[in-house]
Every structure is written in C-alpha cells, then in structure tokens.
Structure 1
Amino acid sequence: MIDGNSIAYRAFFALPLLNNDKGVYTNAVYGFTTMLLKVIEEEKPTHMLVAFDAGKTTFRHKTFQEYKGGRQKTPPELSEQFQLIRELLDAFRIKRYEIENYEADDIIGTLAKQVSSHEDWEVKIYSGDKDLLQLVSPKVTVALTRKGISNVDTYDEQFVNEKYGLTPSQIIDMKGLMGDPSDNIPGVPGVGEKTAIKLLKEFGSVEKVLESIDAVSGKKLKENLTENKEKALMSKELATIFCDVPVSIPKEELLFEGYDEKKIVPLFKELDFQSLLDRFGTVEEELEEVTEKLDFTIADKISSDMLTDHSALVVEVLDDNYHEADILGLAIVNETGRYFISTELALASDAFKAWAKNKEAKKAIFDAKRAVVALGWKGIELEGINFDLLIASYILDPSAASHEVADIANRKGKRVVSSDEAIYGKGAKRKIPAIEVLAEHLVKKANTVYTLRQEVREELTANHLKELFYDLEMPLSIILGKMEMTGVKVDVEQLKLMGEDLGNQLKNLEKEIHQLAGVEFNINSPKQLGEVLFEKLNLPVIKKTKTGASTSAEVLEKLADKHEIIPSILHYRQLGKLNSTYIEGLLKVVHSDTNKIHTMFNQALTQTGRLSSTEPNLQNIPIRLEEGRKIRKAFVPSNPDWIMFAADYSQIELRVLAHIANDKNLIEAFNKGMDIHTRTAMDVFHVEAQAVTDLMRRHAKAVNFGIVYGISDYGLSQSLGITRKEAGTFIEKYLESFPGVRDYMEDIVQEARENGYVTTLLNRRRFLPEITSRNFNLRSFAERTAMNTPIQGTAADIIKKAMVNISERIAQDGLEAKLLLQVHDELIFEAPKHELEKLKVIVPEVMESAVELKVPIKVEYAYGSSWYDAK
C-alpha cells in the first residue's frame, strides 16, 4: 500500500521542476513513477493500493481546528500533477482510493488491519511519514523514504525497536509528547524526540507519564507536563491512525495483474518520459503486430445484413476541398462484420441509399459534415448520425495537435490504424494506394470509430461535455454541411466590374505615388520602396530587418504624418490586397454549375469554439474600407424575388462579461439599455452622459473590448496612441469602476491554475498547461487566454446554439428561408420576400433566447437585395 500524497510530495521536492513540451509540470509524476516501477520489480506484489487524502478537512479538525494549520499551501506546480498521477495509476491498473473526512493514513491503517488478519497475507506500506510506523506488526512492514524517494528503510518490529527503543504502538505516544510541527500537532513544549523516548522507556505511555509526573526528573519538564496534560493527550489522539474507516474493498479489487503497456506508452510519450519509454522498447512493434490482422470483406455486392441499425461508417475523401471531390471508398463496421465498399457500388445501390437516408439506422462516423457533403453532391442523403469521433475528440481536447483517426486512437493507447500520410503520402507525392491497402485502411478507420465510440461517450459524460456534444456540436455539424452545400450565390459580372474599378483606382494611385516620389519604381518591391522613402525622401528609419529598413504596415502607419506619400502607399496596398485576395480570389472559387461559392466551415479547429471558414474565408472580407464592404454587393439571393437577411448580436462578448463577472455596474448599464461605451466613459472619467466626448467614448470602447482579451497597458497605449502610463491609469480606473471585472480576472486565472483549464457557460473546456510555466511570456499568454476564453467561447457557443435553434424553427414553421453563413456574431439568410415579416419576428426571438444571461441579449437585423444591403 502506498501513501499517495506523501510519496507525491517527496517526489516533487526531491526532483527539479520538469515539464513536457506543453509546459505541464511532471517532476512529481516522474518521481512517483520511478518509485512505482521499483516497487513492482522488487516486491512483485499480488495486490496493490494507493491511498490519497480526500480533502483539507478531516475528522481530526473537530478535535483541533488548527490541525495541519501551519502547512504552506501546496504549490500549484504540484497540485496540478495529482490528476496525472491518478491517470498514471489507472494505466498501471493499480487501485486508488480516497474517502471524505479521512486521510490516506487512515485508509491504509484500516486495510492493513483487515488484510493482515489473513494467514497468507503480508503487507508492505510505502510512505515518507513516520506516523505509519505505528502500524508495524508481525504481518506489516513500513518502507520509509530516506533522502529523496529512491532509497527506503524498511521497518519491522525489530528495526523500530533498534531505531527508537520503542514498540510500534509507542510511536503514537512519542508523537503525543514531542508533537509534530509538520501536522501542527502541539505536543508538550520543551519535549523533543530524545526526551519523549526516554520518558516512554521509563513509563510506557503518555497516560502513564502524566500519571507519574512526580517521578519525572527535571523541574522545568515537570512544569511543562503538568501545564500541558490536555495538549499531550490531544496530540496523541491526533497522531493515532484511525483503523476503523468505513471502507471495505474486496481483495479481488486490489489484485495487481501487471500493468498495461499499451496504456502506459502513450501516457509516457505525452509526459516526455523518454528514459522510462526505453524500458518498453518492444511495445510499439508488439502493438503494430496486434493491428496487422483484421478480418474484413471487400464487398462485391451490398446485402441487407451489412446495413444494420448500429454501424460505424467512413466515407473517404482525400482532398481538403471535399465539395464534389472523388470519394475513394467507404467502410462499414458493425456486429455482422467489417466491409469495404467501392464508391461505384455504393452509388449504384438502392439498398445503401435507403440505409443512408434512414434516420432510424444509427451511424457512428468520423467527420459527419464531410461525409454529408461528399455524399450529398452524389445525390445521397445521409441521416441518422448519432456519433462523430472527430467532434468528440475536438470537444475533449481542443488543443490537441491533430484529430486524425490514427492520432485519436494513439491517444487512447490503441495503435490500431496508420496515419493518412503513411498510406497516401503527402504533397506532390500523394497518391491512392492499391485497392487492398486502401480497403484495409478504411476498414481500420471504421473499426476504430466502432470500438472507441462507447469509451469516448463515457469520457464525454465523465467530463460533463455530453450536452455540448449531443445538443450543440453534433446537430450543428449537419447544419453546417447543409449550409456548405447550399452555398451563396455570387453575381460574377458585378465582381468583375469591381475588379476593373479597383484596377483603375490602383493605376491612378500608382501615378500619384510616382509623382510624390519624383521617380518611377515598383511600389510592391520592399527594396525599391525603402530606397525611395529612406534614401531619396530621407524619412526616419523606424525598424531594420536583415535585408534593410522595414516598410511594413506598422512602420508606414508611424510615418503617416511625415510625408503625404505614405497615406497613398497604405491605400495602394489595401486596394491591391482587396483586388488580388478578394476579387480575383473569389472569382476563382465560384462553382461553374451553381454560380455559388461553397465555403467550408471548420468546426474542429479553434480552441475557443469559434467557427472559421476556408476555401474561401468569407468571415474575413474587410469591412473597414468602403471598397471592401462593396464586395458584399456581389453576394445575392439565389432567386430573383428573394432577399438577403442578416442578424447580428449587439456587443455579445461584453454582455457575456457582465454575466460571468457579475459586475453590478455593467449589469445595470445593459439592463437600462444604455450605450455601454458611454456608460464606461462616465464611470471612468466621472462625468455625466452629456459631458462624454467622442474621444472619451473611443477610449472607453478600446478598453471595453480590450479588457476581455487581457489587454496590457502597452497594448492599450498602442491602439489609442497614448503613453503607457496613461493607458495603465485608464485600465486601473476601469477596474475600479467595474470591481466585478477585476475579481473575475483574478479568480479565473486562479481557477485555471488549479484545474488546468477554463470553461464556457455551456461547459466547453480549454486546457491551459502553460498557466504554471516558469516562462513569463508563456504564462502571461495563458493568463490572458484564461480571461478571454470563457467570454469569447461563450459568445461562440451562443451563436452556435442560435444556429441549431433557428434551423429547427425554420423547419418547424415550414419556411423556405435558408441559413447561408455565420460570420462571427452574425447570421446571414436568404428567403422569399413574403417570409420577411416572419423572419423579422422569429430570428431575433430565437437568437435572443439561445441562452439566459443576467442582462438582455440584443439582436439587430437588416435586409436587402444583397449582403451589402443587409447591413
């Protein structure tokens, strides 16, 4: 039996701080692991248990409130490692146990008493705490760590007597007399270990010493014993291990049958325990061997018994842009077998099409959205999806580097499928392998989904992520797939005209810049531009790079008032980017048959839960420049008598901040419908609403939005063009005005340190291992992220919830309106004009009721003949 807390503490303080590549501290885990391996190898135990303290308060605190009161708080670098130690023990298949109101010692004492009564049992206890020596008996020995944790002294009754001249039961009396500073047990003042041992050898116990004070030699010692009788008795009581804890663990649960290398190896890899991994040098080959043999059938026809109500399905599309890309093949795994189905066979099979469309035929899948879209383009509807391994993996660990099937399996300790790169190659070398290799790969993917689905579901439930998965992300993936297939109609001719207009503006700007420079040059060449600005026009050099003076946008903005050429160059660059990235870029991705753009939404990418879009990124069309905003004119309804309808949340992140921070001033402002930036300026500058100037409001707006990103005085000074001191004062005044926000910022960082993650209102997690990093930059970034993620992540969750709810409402009301795009806090629809009045009612109603906050959620909408007009 192992005293978990004691050994973890010893390991932590014995070893220098270690951390893995994610910044997670691992020294206590490493020390604990080496001790565990040594115990297993040397003792070859048949049964094992690790006991932990369940909490800070125990039954002993009723006797003495200050029990353990002098202890320093557990370093956060250690406390975050206890969960890893628990995971480690699970991988080792060693029983661990803790119980409220009792200490690990009490659990160990109780079980030692229970099991040592069996004739054939011997018990060995590992700890760093001398208190456990009181448990030594003919059947129980105690191994106490010496310096560090690798060396131990094993105490039996004889060794206890040799060391102290006492019996094991007298260890309690010794503690009663001398006390124990580490547990804040007072003992008798002036009595140390030597005096306590001497008294016990003479009198036998604390009680006998107190009964025989007159026979004790030494005036001062007599006085101390006389004055501290109650303390001595109480101290003995506190030091006594309670051996009747209400715990009864069947001994078969304590059975140790060896550790599971398949689970340990991935954990050691994650923790960067390379030296320990070397002990398991053959495990990877063994794991590979296990996976090489998998029976499956390459189907030559699709029969009904292949299509059951609970199957795993993989639809393989290799291209990143999966719209109308070739489907390489499909795999189905269920209780009847494992099958590879060629694309041609699936597309020609009425049985497969009917099964795919059948909502009652439940399908576990990897990347539901991709499968829905890929099959949808081939005319096959895919319904009945009740599990998506990609989305589940993303929700469980959004910071994971990859959510590919092979990587998910490896993280679960199951090396059962090769990576796509290993099968297909990458880049220019990517190719489709022979049918047998492809079939086996897809079947292994589907088999992984099938075998992992229950374990992953249980993990979602255990981490309180079940509702987020089933009620939000799963239905959303299908909605996003339908949005992608619907696409957004583009007026190609209008886009081309915009391109021509931008081209003319660029030519005029080029002439103007050349005239101002007094020389013709390539404006897009940093070298030539640098020569003109810094050599010919003698403008000051702000920043140097390896190739010469920098001409970055940041540098040019600082030079804007030094010469009239600079604003023209900045404008030239902006228009050039608009033309190349957005006009020419959008024209390239307009679908030739539909005249639509079918963007792809990334649901499993950002750590905050926000959606992003690619191919093309429609969330990024610039709107600060009028020329950028005009690009939205080209996005039109798919039918001539329809309209575009846009609805967006008003200041949603600040409303979420008011709710989470529970700041009464922010809540009051939103509840009264005040302009929040004006209210902030009033509070910070101590003026009435009418006295708030445009500059005051601009400053207030910058800090309002910056505060949720953990903005620093430096960051605010840069965005407002003020000194760092002024910015620092402004932030301080803001936090004085909104004390709830200050408390939130402090509390959430502390919470992140304790838990290793933060959550949104809908329980989405973001792990922040760098929060305890000794690297200031990493730690500061993690602290800012801890402040921001609950705000930004909750805002993302709210609009996702709104998308699910509005899609249900549109279907319920039988409307033709279609949800086309999500752009941050905005939803864009197209609808027949006759549905406009209905949309004006239901869209704000559904969006505003997506979640309930302590402040009202407000939605603003607009509509028109294009996306531009709907703003």
Structure 2
Amino acid sequence: MSQKRLFLLDAYALIFRGYYALIKNPRINSKGQDTSAVMGFVNSLFDVIKREQPDHLAVAFDKEGSKDRVEMFPDYKANRDETPEAIRIAVPIIQQILKAMHIPIIERAGIEADDLIGTIAKQAEKEGYKTYMVTPDKDYAQLVSENIFMYRPARMGNGIEIWGIPEVQKKFEVERPDQVIDYLGMMGDAVDNIPGLPGVGDKTAKKFIAQFGSMENLLANTDQLKGKMKEKVEANAELGLLSKKLATIIIDCDVTFNEHDYELSEPDTDKVQEIFEELEFRRLTDQFIKIFSGEAGASTQVSGTATAKKQAKEAGAGQFSLFGDTAAPTTEIETYSSRKTIENTPHFYQSVAPGMAINLFVKNLLKQTQVCFDTETTGLNPLTAELVGIAFSWESGKGFYIPFPEDRQEAQKLIEILRPFFESEDIVKIGQNLKYDIKVLHKYDIQVHGQLFDTMLAHYLINPDMRHNMDVLSEAYLNYTPVSITDLIGKKGKNQRSFRSVPVEKQTEYAVEDADITFQLKEHFAPELEEAKTLSLFNDIEIPLLRVLASMEIEGINLDEEFLNSLSQELDNDIKLLEESIYKKAGEEFNIASPKQLGIVLFEKLKLVDKPKKTKTGQYSTAEDVLSYLAKDHDIIQNILEYRGLSKLKSTYVDALPTQVDPTTKHVHTDYMQTVAATGRLSSNNPNLQNIPIRTERGRQVRKAFIPHNEEYNLLAADYSQIELRIIAALSEETTMIDAFKNGEDIHASTAAKVFNVPLEEVTREQRSNAKTVNFGIIYGVSAFGLSNQTDLSRSEAKELIDTYYKTYPKLRNYMSEQVDFARENGYVQTVLGRRRYLKDINSRNAVVRGAAERNAVNAPIQGSAADIIKIAMINIYNKLSQGNFKTKMLLQVHDELVFDVYKPELEEIQTLIKTEMESAYTLSVPLDVDLGLGDNWLEAH
C-alpha cells in the first residue's frame, strides 16, 4: 500500500503570491471588483489538486498574528505595509469557496499559519503520512524531513519545485534542515522585522553555519572572529538568540491532526459554481467541473513547463497533417516538433514548404469560417519591416507557418497565393494588434477584408485598466507562458538579431504558438464581450476604427523641415537669453536642469519660501506644481518655467520631428493606440502629436511645420466646440445649460452672468475666465484650493464661486452624485455607447483613494463619450471619403480635432461632408457644433 499523502496550504502566502503575480494586470470583473487575490489562490489550489490528486488536504490561515512572538519582540512584523484592500476583501470569499468545497480551514487566534502547519506536519509524520507544505515561503525549509517536503509554486506558468532534504541542504548550505533556523536567526528577515545579527547577510550566515553549526556555538566561540564582526556579534548576542526564537516555527500548537477531517471529499458543486458565477470566474468554473467530474487526471499540466517542452521535443510531432481530407505528401511539409501541453491538449505546429503543400494549404484555408493569422517581420516599424513569415491557426493546439523568402519579388509571388484568403469577405480574421498586420500587408498591396476580431481590442473593452499584450493575456487567461521573442533574437541593442536569422523550426514554434494562443484568447473573449454588453462597441466602433487608423498612419503628414531648423535656432537664442536672466537673478551660474542645484539656489540661497517642500530623498522639490504655485510672486521662477518649456519643446518636437520623417514617403507617421487610455481616448506615439503645446506662442509655432501634401492641397482642421460641456449638459439634463447651448450663447459668458448675477452684456473678461475655469474644472472635480491656484481668486472666493455654480446648475450636482452612487453599486460607470470604466477603489476605506475614484466616476463618462463620438465621426467620414473616391485624406486626430489633407477642387464638398458627419455623429439633447479652419499649415487651419 502506498504511503498516504497530506497537503497543507499556507493561505496568505498563496493569496499574496497570486495577488502580486497579477499586480500589473489585475483581474477586474464587471462589478469593478478586483478578484486577483481570489483567482491566484484558487489557481494554486486547483493546480495542486489536478497535479497531485491528494487524498488529504487542508488550508491554514493566520489570525491576529503571532501572540507569542509579539510578546517576545513587540516590533515583530511592525514594518509590514497594510494588507491591500483587495486581499482583505478576498479572504472571506476564499473561505466561502473552501467551505463549499468541503476543504478544512485551520485557524487559531494568535497563531500563525506556519506554526499550525508545522505542528500538523510533525503529527502527521508520526502517523505515517508524507506531508507537503504548499507555500513559497522559504522559512518552512526548517521543517523538512524524510517525510515532510516543501511544495513551492513557481512563477505562473512555470510549474512547481519540491524541496526535500537534499534541496534544502543545497539551497542553504546546511547539513540538516533544522539549521535553517540558525541561518534565519543570523541573517534576520526584513519582511518579518526579525533583526538578526548586524552586518550578517546571506553569505556570512552560511559561512558561520559551516564553521560553527548553530547560533549558540557561534556565540560561544566569538574569540575565533576578528575585527568589527567580532565586536558586532558579541554586542548583539541576545539579539541573535531572540532572532533565532522569532524565526523558529512552533510545532506544538493547540491543534490536532485528525486524518478523517482532512480527507478530500466531494464538494458542494452548486454552491461553488454559484460563487464563481458571482465572481465571473468562467475559466475556473470549467476547470472545477473537469477536476471534480474526473476529466482532469494527475498528469494534467496547465502550464508549459521547461520539462514539458523538453519531453515534447523528444517526442516529436510525427507525420500529422491538417490539410483536410486530402493528405499532403509528407515530403512537401516540413513538420517540426513543437508539441506542448496546455490543458492536456497536444500541439501540432507545422511549417508549410513551397509547392503542392502551399496550394493544398490554401485550399483548406479557404474552407474555414474563422482563422487567426500573425505576421512575423524583420522589425517593429510596419511601414519599413519586411515579411519573414505568416502563422495561421483555426483550431486550438494546431497551426501552420509559411516562411517568406528574402527576395522581394519571390515574397510577392508567395503572398499572391494567399491573397484570396486575406481578401475573402466570408472568413473572420483573428489577430492580436491587427492594425500592425494590416499595415505590413499594405506594403505588399494586400487588403484585409471581412470581419475582424482583435484580441487586444476585445480585452481592452473587457478590462480597460489592465495590460493587453499577448504574453500577459496568455498567462492571465490560459495560465500559459509563451516563448519570449528575446529568447530567439536577443534583447534590445546592437546585438539583437533579425527574426529572419532564426532557424525555420524555431520560427515555426514561436509564430504558430502566437497564432494558437491568440485563437484561444478569441474564444475566451467573445462571450465576455457579450456578457459585458460591449460587443456592439467592439464591432461597430473599435474594429472599424482600427481600419481608419491604419489608413491614417500609412498616409502620414508632410513636414516642413526647413522651418523647424530655423525655429530650432530661434529657440536656442531664447533659451540662452533666459539662462542669462536666471543667472543674473540668482547671482551665480549653475545647472538649471539639475533639480538638486536648482533647489539649493531657490530655497537656501534666495530663501524664496520659509518651509520648502522636499522629496522622499530629502532634496528640495522643484516639480512643476511646486514652482507654478510660486511663479506669480517670483520672476526667476517664471523664467525657469519658461526655460523648461522651451527646452522640452526643442528636444521633444523641434529637433526630434525631422529625425522621424520616413525616408520613402517623406512624411511623419504617428502610431495611434486604441488600448492605452481607460476612458476610450486615443493615444499618439512615435511621435506623440497630441501633446504639442498649444497655450504658448512657441508651442503653437510647431504646428506651423505640418503642411499639406503639395500645393494642390490645403490642411483643414475640424474641431468640436466645447464637446465635453455639451455632453455633461445633456447627461445631467441641466436645462439652463442646455438652453444656453441651443441659443448659441457663449457658455462661459452665460455661466458667468448667472453665477456672478450680472447681465450677459456686462460680464467682464475676468468673470468669463473664472467661469470657464469652473466649467471645465467641475468635470475633473476641482476643489476650492485647486480653483484658487488656477485663478486670482482667494480660497474663500473660490469656494463661494463653486457653491454658487452648483446652486445655478442643481441638476448637474445631482447627476454627479448619481454617477458616484451608480459606481458604488455596480463597480463601473459607462459612456453613451456603453463603454465601461471600472472603478475598483470606489468603495475604498482610504478617503484619498476613494476620492480619486469618485472623480473618475464623474469624468470618465463625459471624456469617454466625447471619445466615442469623435470615433463615430472618423468612421463615417472615412467611409464617405472611400465610397466617393475622394483624393482628400484624414491625417490626424488630436482629442476633439480632426486634420485633413484636402484636395482643393474638392474643398467645398468636403467642408460640408466633414461638418455634417461630425455634427450628426451622435444625437444629444444639445447640438454638437464643429468649427472648421483652413490653411497652408496646421497652425493656420487651427
């Protein structure tokens, strides 16, 4: 009879591990609840059950810390950060799940989990059990024996480590596992605030263990030590002994092992599924059903471990063919062994050789209803990169790779064979960041037709605050770590190789894996889009916009490099004059760009403030907000801010833009990103054309450098007028504000007339300016302090103005309160098109954190609705321009503004088209108004 096995899980260690494993990619459900900690723990629990099929299992929880250790040392664990709120909320949910699964919970007030596990492990050992302590915490190594092991979950997707006596000996360089206590006592533990011996680290502790064997023996033989180390050890002998006691796991707690209590029994399936449904754990629900219906065996490997990959390579992929009923000759198909195991499914990845195999492959490809494809290229810039290969997958665990020749003519011949697939209207094309692939294929005169499904965009709508790259999504949703591109071509730098230099068998493994994973992610995300009620937003807005942005990015915009060169020289002169002025006012020359030197000059030498703000490192803060607050009282600070602004303008735009001109098109091609801003706004990158300063004269001059295609064109800028204010007026149903817009009034003057109680015609410029600041500030939750900083009003005057504003527009305030209430109840807010912004901190106990979430609850629907509306306008205009075969092109989107390269003979028709489509993009109770401008450069047009 085989030896009985007991698995003891350290709950908090696994909960924290799961939570922080997903910290950059938290799992937020549709209620705005951060479920990362619960998911991480349940993943670990299920992994143990699937891998090991234990007959006995229990989970230990800390409760109220260690009473004994705190009595010995009041500062024990005193420096630990407060437990994250998501973990505090997760613990009772995890305990509900365990109870529903009939898994025993071990918990005692004042006793830590490691002491409970240590006690039970030793008791079980005496009863003939082999015990596995499931925890990443290395402290448990002291308990390891012939029948007690550490079962350490490694990084997500990389399996587990089991530490027996040999592993502990090697890891800690000890003869016996119990010497780990001495090692920990000597070295101390910053996490638990165990002091240890001053000056003793990992290497020294191991050296002492080798020489003396124990803490006590070390302290009894300090005469063998030398110098300062001898002094430190002798002076801190009591501290060392205390540290050893604190590090010792207690093995005689008030808890008794009863094998019948710890037997793994049948769970309450309905209850578990009910909890998982509430948490929106669809994949875990499937896993749960498989595990407890007997479908998942002990050999199941959820993750692609190194061992699994090695075994797969040794096994080979055999002569498996996926070319339909007609099997292709195996001599024509190069089949590479890249068989892996994800959820117990073998992987068959094949490279398709030229000749008959390609024709057979395409014949089968065209029979499919949906196919994931992924291009592999020589670089990251899709406008200059060349095709190295294309991977295809339409069934989980299976896929194909077509390598492309380096010769451009031969590559073009090969892509022509695939043209019917790409231009088929009937096959759904799946991909991750399809805009990149569309731009690459455009170079080969290939258009991608038919319905698209982009997993990156899908996930962006499901969880906008998370990261959306494929590796992260694979780990989070498929529990699988893909091969990294850097494993094949090296890290960034001069030594990085081209993907073309990678052997074809490795290209196949890497590329098809990407296509396979993306296909599986599509299957996962499609139902989630429906459940989150964002499927129409995906199909009608984000996917069509993908094509629009690809077209805009391919076109780019013309740049007047000569003008920028002259502007650079002018900025050099201006910066030099400012330097001289600053040095004169400071009475010395110093490095203005150095925060440290600047802080000393401003706050020690010139003593501009009595109590200057300092950074965490103890330096004087010279941050923008600090200096802006002081600028109106000190000319030198005004000069410094202007110096910074001009220096940044010169380096970021004036000098950088000419270097970003494409040598072939002679245009600048920005990259619009749909998945960065959680509100739905687009982001611009390489170069960022959305952040060019517009409030300063020099900043505006940069726009002058953007010019039409040639003399037959003009630039036209179309700008939504005060769209966010119009949206908030409509959403709040604030009739006073709605009427002002309907009557075509100046909304800021109208607001000033009402809040300052003066006739409209008597509103002063200052009153209008203050009203404008409040109008826009209200959307972002401006406070009296913030308003007073932005205006000449005192804090009390600012408060009075805000109070009067809310009295003037009472429905606006009610709307804001309703939005916060909705967010508290549902965990999210949404735009007019149903785009959700999840607010996981809306019910936080921390007032500062909660306040930020409340401001987002008000702002996100407004800013997001504005983003949605301009996206609709872009799609409609693009379609009209395409259908009408106009020469006019849409070039740029900058928040509420669109920029066009207008063919002069089309000007009149185009102006009407653009204004009509933008103003009718979405119907609100407030009319949308668009201002058009025309010019020989962007500045003139704007």
TM-score by length of 2: 0.64
1:777-808 CA-partner distances (Å, limit 9, x unpaired): 22211111111111111110111111001101
Q: Is structure 2 residue 82 aligned with structure 1 residue 32?
A: no
**Corresponding residue to 1:340 among 377, 396, 401:** 401
Does 1:296 pair with 2:350?
yes
Equivalent pairs counted in the alignment come to 656
Query: CA shift at 1:84, angstroms?
Result: 1.1
Equivalent in the alignment of 2:910? 839
Tell me, in whole angstroms, the C-alpha distance in 2 between the residues paired with 1:818 and 1:21: 50
| Partner residue, 1:90 | 285
For the pair 1:460 / 2:529, whether they are aligned, the reply is yes
- Does residue 439 of structure 2 align to residue 373 of structure 1? yes
The counterpart of 2:461, out of the listed 361, 371, 395, is: 395
Letter in 2 for 1:342: P
The residue type paired with residue 839 of structure 1 is I
Shift of 1:397: 1.0
> Are the structure 2 counterparts of residues 465 and 685 from structure 1 closer, same or farther at C-alpha, using a change threshold of 3 Å?
same
SS of equivalent to 2:102: helix
Residue of structure 1 equivalent to 2:9:
none
Deviation at 1:374, TM superposition (A): 1.9
Aligned to 1:405: 470
Does the C-alpha gap of structure 1 residues 306 and 354 become closer, same or farther in structure 2, counting only changes over 3 Å? same
In structure 2, the partner of 1:323 is 383
**Other-structure match for 1:415:** 480
Give yes or no for contact 1:465–1:764 (8 Å, CA) kept in 2.
Answer: yes
Asked if the contact 2:377/2:386 (under 8 Å) is kept, the reply is yes
Q: Does 1:775 align with 2:846?
A: yes
Tell me the equivalent position of 1:235: none
The Cα of 1:735 is off from its aligned counterpart by: 1.8
Q: Counterparts of 1:511 and 1:838 in 2: how far apart (Å)?
A: 53
Aligned CA distance change for structure 1 residues 485 and 32 (closer, same or farther; 3 Å): same
Cα gap change, 1:392 to 1:24, in 2 (>3 Å): farther
Residues 1:470 and 1:322: Cα distance change in structure 2 (over 3 Å): same
* Cα distance in 1 between the residues matched to 2:807 and 2:783: 16
> Relative to structure 1, is the Cα distance of residues 423 and 52 closer, same or farther in structure 2, using a 3 angstrom cutoff?
closer
Q: Is the 8 A contact 1:405 1:419 kept in 2?
A: no
Match of 1:641 in 2: 712
1: CA distance, partners of 2:777 / 2:268: 56
1:544 to 614, 621, 626: 614
Work out the CA distance in 2 between the residues paired with 1:427 and 1:640.
42
Q: Determine which of 495, 499, 508 is the counterpart of 2:564.
A: 495
Distance (Å, rounded) in 2 between the aligned partners of 1:440 and 1:324: 25
SS at match of 1:810: helix
CA contact 1:539–1:562 (8 Å) conserved in 2: no
Q: Which moved more, 1:345-354 or 1:775-784?
A: 345-354
- SS of the residue aligned with 1:26? helix
Task: Pick closer, same or farther for the CA change 1:584–1:85 going to 2, 3 Å.
Answer: closer
Cα deviation for residue 551 of structure 1 reads 3.6
Return 603-612 or 31-40, whichever deviates more. Answer: 31-40
Change (3 A) 1:646 1:601: same
SS of alignment partner, residue 941 of structure 2? coil
Find the aligned partners of 1:15 and 1:650 in 2 and give their Cα distance. Answer: 58
3-state SS of paired residue (2:631):
coil
Letter in 1 for 2:363: D
CA distance in 2, matches of 1:86, 1:314: 29
Name 2:805's counterpart in structure 1: 734
Give the Cα separation in 1 of the matches to 2:343 and 2:277.
34
Aligned CA RMSD, in angstroms, stands at 3.6
> What is the distance in 2 between the residues matched to 1:590 and 1:23?
49
Q: Please, which of 259, 264, 270 is the counterpart of residue 49 of structure 1?
A: 270
The residue correspondences of 1:423-462 to structure 2 (distance < 5 A) are 426-428=491-493, 431=497, 432=499, 433-462=502-531
Which letter does structure 2 place at the counterpart of 1:441? Y
Give the whole-Å Cα distance in 2 for the aligned partners of 1:591 and 1:86: 47
Residue identity opposite 1:501 in structure 2? E
Other-structure match for 1:149: none
**Contact conserved, 1:332 with 1:339, CA < 8 A, in 2?**
yes
1:385, distance to aligned residue in structure 2 (A): 4.6
For 2:469, the aligned partner's letter is: E
Distance 1:732 1:563 in 2: 32
Q: Is residue 311 from structure 1 mapped to residue 371 from structure 2 by the alignment?
A: yes
Letter of the 2:572 partner, please give it: G
Q: Sort the Cα spacing of 1:485 and 1:92 in 2 relative to 1 into closer, same or farther, 3 A.
A: closer
Distance 2:879 2:637 in 1: 52
Mapped partners of 1:775, 1:23: distance in 2: 15
Q: 1:473: which partner in 2?
A: 542
Counterparts in 2 of 1:289 and 1:475: CA distance versus 1, 3 Å: closer
Distance 1:86 1:15, change over 3 A: farther
Shift of 1:589: 0.6
Cα distance change, pair 678–25 in 1 and its aligned pair in 2 (3 A): farther
CA–CA distance in structure 1, aligned partners of residues 468 and 390 of structure 2:
20
With over 3 angstroms needed to count, the CA separation of the structure-2 counterparts of 1:19 and 1:828, relative to structure 1, is farther
Residue 641 of structure 2 corresponds to 570
Match of residue 322 from structure 2: none
Cα gap change, 1:24 to 1:332, in 2 (>3 Å): farther
- Deviation track 1:348-394 (CA, whole Å, cap 9, x = no partner) reads 31212443344444322221111111222344333335211111111
- What is the distance in 2 between the residues matched to 1:461 and 1:544? 50
> Matches of residues 202-217 of structure 1 in structure 2 within 5 Å?
none
Question: Any idea what the Cα deviations from partners look like across 1:230-256, whole Å, max 9, x if unmatched?
Answer: xxxxxxxxxxxxxxxxxxxxxxxxx96
Partner amino acid, structure 1, of 2:385: A
**Secondary structure of 1:857 counterpart:** coil
> Could you tell me how far 1:489 is from its partner in structure 2?
0.5
- Sort the Cα spacing of 1:693 and 1:480 in 2 relative to 1 into closer, same or farther, 3 A: same
Residue 567 of structure 1, CA deviation:
2.8
- Structure 2 SS opposite 1:412: helix
Amino acid at match of 1:338: G
For residue 856 of structure 2, the aligned residue among 778, 782, 785 is 785
Q: Judging changes above 3 Å, is the alpha-carbon distance between structure 1 residues 352 and 689 closer, same or farther for their aligned structure 2 residues?
A: same
Matched to 2:348, the amino acid is: L
1:297-321 superposed Cα distances (whole Å, 9 cap, x missing partner): 3433532325425321111358554
Q: Which residue of 2 aligns with 1:257?
A: 293
Alpha-carbon offset, residue 733 of structure 1: 2.0
Q: Distance in 1 between matches of 2:782 and 2:728?
A: 14
Worse-superposed segment, 439-448 or 411-420:
411-420
Which residue identity does 2:401 align to in structure 1?
Answer: F
Please name the residue that 1:271 is paired with: none
Instruction: Tell me how far apart the structure 2 counterparts of residues 600 and 777 of structure 1 sit (CA, whole Å).
Output: 35
The answer to whether the 8 A contact 1:770-1:779 is kept is yes
Question: What secondary structure, in the 3-state scheme, does the structure 1 residue paired with 2:718 have?
Answer: strand
Instruction: Please give the alpha-carbon distance, in whole angstroms, between the structure 2 residues aligned to 1:656 and 1:374.
Output: 38
The one of 452, 461, 467 equivalent to 1:386 is: 452
How far apart in 2 are the matches of 1:440 and 1:532? 59
The separation in 2 between residues aligned to 1:260 and 1:25, in whole angstroms, is: 30
The alpha-carbon deviation at position 843 of structure 1 amounts to 0.6
Task: Return the alpha-carbon distance in structure 2 between the equivalents of residues 265 and 440 of structure 1.
Answer: 19
What is the identity, as a one-letter code, of the residue corresponding to 1:410? E
Distance 1:311 1:514, change over 3 A: same
Question: 1:650 matched to which residue of 2?
Answer: 721
Aligned partners of 2:890 and 2:898 also within 8 Å? yes
Counterpart CA distance in 2 for 1:611 and 1:697 is 31
